[in-house]
Amino acid sequence: MYEFIKLDMAIRSLQQDYSALEKLKMSKVYIYIVEGLLKDIRNDFYNKRRFLAKKNLAVVKWVNIDEYFSDVIIKTAGEDEVLRYAKQALKAQVEELIHSHLKLLSAGVQTPTERS
């Protein structure tokens, strides 16, 4: 579930930053890179979502607790669960995920999604 949440946050972050890229002088270069990242991360996201759906798990919603924590409500086969995440730790993990995908793209290496 944590991997799915990181993928979701990476997509949201890249989409939010995407509009700001159009204002840059070399926007075409940056947009091309971000589009490649988004495509790659979305593939992983949808594969993970299908996997979780088979196990009757889904994210219901995010709840902002305060400036340091957020709760994620998860639908399960039984009762819903609430997972609390520290925003700074999650942000660092999302940055790491994006960085690792960027390394793979720049090296021309296929990600697990592209291989299957």
Distance CA 100, CA 12 (A): 17
Asked if pLDDT for residue 115 goes beyond 50, the answer is no
Torsion angle in degrees (nearest 10) through CA of 55, 58, 64, 70: 20
Asked if pLDDT for residue 39 goes beyond 90, the answer is yes
Please state whether beta strands 58-64 and 69-75 pair in parallel, antiparallel, or not at all (unpaired): antiparallel
Mean pLDDT within 26-49: 92
- Structure confidence at residue 89 as a pLDDT band (50, 70, 90): very high
Closest of 40, 38, 31, 50 to residue 11, by C-alpha? 38
Distance CA 22, CA 18 (A): 7
pLDDT on residue 20: 87
